[in-house]
Structure 1
Amino acid sequence: MSNGQELLELSPVVPVVVVDDAADAAPVARALLAGGIRVIELTLRTPAALEAIEQVASAVPGIVIGAGTVTTPEQAKQATDAGAKFLVTPGCTDRLLEAVSGTGLPFLPGAGTVSEAMRLAEQGLTAMKFFPAEPSGGVAFLKAIAGPLPRLRFCPTGGITVGSAPSYLALPTVGCVGGSWLTPKDALAAKDFDRITALAKEAAALG
């Protein structure tokens, strides 16, 4: 992958995964892969996240492993060193943009307003994360900005469900959606990986 646009084509749904135990990461990745999802975004929200990325990168080569919730330059480097193949940020400051760009990895910078999206476009970026999608206006917002900003494409994330995902995916400016519903907390706690595979199959069919 050479740019963020290619990230939008990997899967109709990008699982946004939070793990508290790094030992769960590889089984979760295998469960998603078995369901037809070949990408996973492990968020840097827990102390186990970097080790979890390492586990998936080494043990599940069939899935494209990325790091989400990258909020600092230090995290961008740490995630890259851990084996992440792409980076996702919830928003984007000048310093963070320089850092993620400097890793050489494809990335999706976060934007939640028209001005933020335009500012990223000025830097030559046309693929972005729209976050938080539902609180920021959802499908109606993306429809509204498609007129003035037709070249931009998005991965909306935040509050999206299996029920609302199709309305996002129907938009020409949406390449994929990010969703946490594929790996529910109770399924992870119970190590119910069969349930995760079933949810992955349902999500893969949305494409």
Structure 2
Amino acid sequence: MNAKDLLSLSPVLPVVVLHDAEQAVPVAHALRDGGVRVMELTLRTDAALEAIRRVASEVPDVVVGAGTVISPDQAKQAADAGAAFLVTPGATDTLLDAAVETRLPLLPGASTVSEAMRLAERGFDTLKFFPAEASGGPAALSAIGGPLPQLRFCPTGGITPTNAPRYLALPNVGCVGGTWLTPADALAARDYARIETLAREASALTAEARTT
């Protein structure tokens, strides 16, 4: 699997923040049962690496990756934990070098034309657009597609069920990333049925966006 393949796994990439690794497998099952077979577990909590290990070993039909990778050590730790891909909010040379060493598909973050051009010079053609809404939203991504039509994006940051279709309608967007599929209150209540419903609704929403 390469980064372009990653964007085709699902129209929506759930961005998941877990404080309890025990929830990793039930959340993965709920997303899968709702039609979403990929998830990004962010390295913002102490439970994240163990959560990645559990999904990678116990739910093989869900592709689990590590998000919010901001250091070389985190890139290696995520790979060792079984992550199938890495996502970074931005891109420094040191971080890019470490991520490339893992040989995992990488979605490096960019928010400007210059950042996207720099990543393209390094051989990356599939990027994360972050923070999407704060960086100009669909209009900005559409404009970037003019001079850089070869690049594909997963916009993340401020994406909601309401604005997701506007992103997915763009030719340079492969999928969107969002936290709304696993809201904090649903996780706190261990309401996995709600997560499954949100995943199913998100899949239908994004599928509709691609056909309109």
TM-score, structure 1 normalization: 0.98
Q: Which residue of 2 aligns with 1:26?
A: 25
**Structure-2 separation of matches of 1:163 and 1:147:** 25
1:67-82 matches, cutoff 5 A: 67-82=66-81
**Structure-2 separation of matches of 1:203 and 1:84:** 24
Which consecutive residues of structure 1, in runs of 5 or more, have no partner in the other structure? Answer: none
**1:125 match: secondary structure:** coil
For each residue in 1:92-112, what CA deviation from the matched residue of structure 2 results, as whole angstroms up to 9, or x when unmatched?
A: 000000011110111100001
Shift of 1:170: 0.3
Q: Number of paired residues? A: 206
Q: Which residue of 2 aligns with 1:155?
A: 154
**Structure-2 separation of matches of 1:55 and 1:4:** 23
**Structure-1 separation of matches of 2:74 and 2:123:** 23
Q: Which residue of 1 aligns with 2:140?
A: 141
| Cα RMSD after superposing both structures | 0.6
Shift of 1:124: 1.2
For each residue in 1:88-146, what CA deviation from the matched residue of structure 2 results, as whole angstroms up to 9, or x when unmatched?
A: 00000000000111101111000011110000000111100000000010101011111
Q: Amino acid of the residue matched to residue 117 of structure 1?
A: A
**2:18 match: secondary structure:** coil
Q: Are residue 40 (structure 1) and residue 53 (structure 2) matched? A: no
Q: Which residue of 1 aligns with 2:12?
A: 13
**2:157 match: secondary structure:** coil
**2:5 match: secondary structure:** helix
**Structure-2 separation of matches of 1:50 and 1:124:** 28
**Structure-1 separation of matches of 2:181 and 2:133:** 18
Shift of 1:181: 0.2
Q: Which residue of 1 aligns with 2:95?
A: 96
Q: Are residue 187 (structure 1) and residue 186 (structure 2) matched? A: yes
Q: Which has the higher contact order (CA 8 A, sep 6+)?
A: 1
Q: Amino acid of the residue matched to residue 117 of structure 2?
A: M
Q: Which residue of 1 aligns with 2:57?
A: 58
Shift of 1:184: 0.3
**Structure-1 separation of matches of 2:35 and 2:176:** 15
Q: Amino acid of the residue matched to residue 106 of structure 2?
A: F
Shift of 1:65: 0.5
**Structure-2 separation of matches of 1:22 and 1:197:** 18
Q: Which residue of 2 aligns with 1:123?
A: 122
Shift of 1:204: 1.3
